[in-house]
Structure 1
């Protein structure tokens, strides 16, 4: 199984614990370094690859691909999202499954919007300043972190992240354009249908083109037996 945007390997480790042979792809050296530390601690045989998800390459096909924690929302260009879907289709076994989540337009517009969130924790504090453009569907959030050091002082760091909201029907259209068949869309990680106020959607899609080709070959072969 392949996880795209695996980050520090939290989900990868959980799936490996369930017995899956895992491959993790991420474009952050720092996050993969943490993932590999977890791998040493757990002893799981996980292959981590430093690659951009819109250009990832594997040595062969996999039975399933997963992507969680709105990793695909970081693809702010539609062509990049389509390219990822095409690569997923290419590297899935015939009839293989693709499971992923994405934040919704509703979440960015109505829940996050133009808000500021501040929180204090034992290990430090953070300030989240969010801005959403309803025309471009681009979301920007600036994080200011104050992390407590061993000497009791705080170290400040700043990050800016960009994500894009994609309407559900547009995601469905891009999946189908890439050769994937949409099986189900759920409200977050439940088995309930998606709603207008869903903040996150989980899609389940299946590779269909290679499956169709195999069925066609079997049918043609049967005609001449």
Structure 2
């Protein structure tokens, strides 16, 4: 993954406006028996959109992300909405927040950016330590079907008249991983276009592997479902959700 999101961060929300973050709030609200008054850890929080939505519901939110540029956008969002959200810059596999929480969430395949299995395992261990007894972890990942087949159907082209990108994909070095190169063209006020490039790496694991990693960290699996629906994953599911309890 690129080391800086300085160009990407300002347009991130526009590219993600079809993501049903409100559904994520509802899922976490249900898993936590209500988020009002609960301490919630938003891991891989990006520009803080989900953090802000949870804070508006009365949660006490701490957002964590490895990108200072993303967190700058998140902090501005929280300030503009008069929301008291703490943001911490650190990779999730190095999570060290100095507090305990009632719930943790890793939304919109953020965990897939952790490539090494040992780092995924460490992420789960650190989240487990950061949760109060009975605390819940909710996250989603790309399915192996999406990683191994759908992503490799590229290149993909996006154009909304202001932002255009060309997304080229190739198998990564690790099993069930994807290497992506994206060329962005962003229209400026004078009508010209500014170009910048992004390189991303993502990796996923089979559902039984995630279950084993979670259980080895101490979690109890409560629910596994797919594609925003209350249904078990099948061979063509694209997004797999896990709900686990300490």
Q: Distance in 2 between matches of 1:158 and 1:44?
A: 33
- Secondary structure of the residue that 1:39 maps to in structure 2? helix
Partner of 1:170: 209
Partner of 2:152: 113
Which residue among 89, 100, 104 is the counterpart of 1:61? 100
Where in structure 1 are there 5+ consecutive unaligned residues? 208-225
Partner of 2:182: 143
Query: Is residue 26–residue 51 contact of structure 1 (8 Å, CA) maintained in 2?
Result: yes
Query: Is residue 114–residue 129 contact of structure 1 (8 Å, CA) maintained in 2?
Result: no
Partner of 1:102: 141
Cα offset for 1:178?
A: 0.7
Partner of 1:38: 77
Query: Is residue 106–residue 196 contact of structure 1 (8 Å, CA) maintained in 2?
Result: yes
Partner of 1:154: 193
CA RMSD of aligned residues (A): 1.2
Query: Is residue 151–residue 178 contact of structure 2 (8 Å, CA) maintained in 1?
Result: no
TM-score (norm 1): 0.89
Partner of 2:244: 205
User: Based on CA coordinates, which of the two structures has the bigger radius of gyration?
Assistant: 1
Query: Is residue 109–residue 134 contact of structure 1 (8 Å, CA) maintained in 2?
Result: no
Q: Distance in 1 between matches of 2:230 and 2:53?
A: 20
Partner of 1:220: none
Cα offset for 1:186?
A: 0.6
Partner of 2:57: 18
Partner of 2:15: none
Q: Distance in 1 between matches of 2:98 and 2:158?
A: 44
Query: Is residue 101–residue 188 contact of structure 1 (8 Å, CA) maintained in 2?
Result: no
Which residue among 61, 66, 71 is the counterpart of 1:27? 66
Q: Distance in 1 between matches of 2:156 and 2:226?
A: 25
Q: Distance in 2 between matches of 1:114 and 1:201?
A: 20
Q: What's the CA shift string for 1:113-138, capped at 9, x where partnerless?
A: 14101122121210010112596222
TM-score (norm 2): 0.82
Post-superposition, which runs of at least 4 consecutive aligned residues in structure 1 deviate over 4 A? none
Partner of 1:181: 220
Q: What's the CA shift string for 1:182-224, capped at 9, x where partnerless?
A: 11101122212211111011100011xxxxxxxxxxxxxxxxx
Query: Is residue 95–residue 127 contact of structure 2 (8 Å, CA) maintained in 1?
Result: no
- Secondary structure of the residue that 1:7 maps to in structure 2? coil
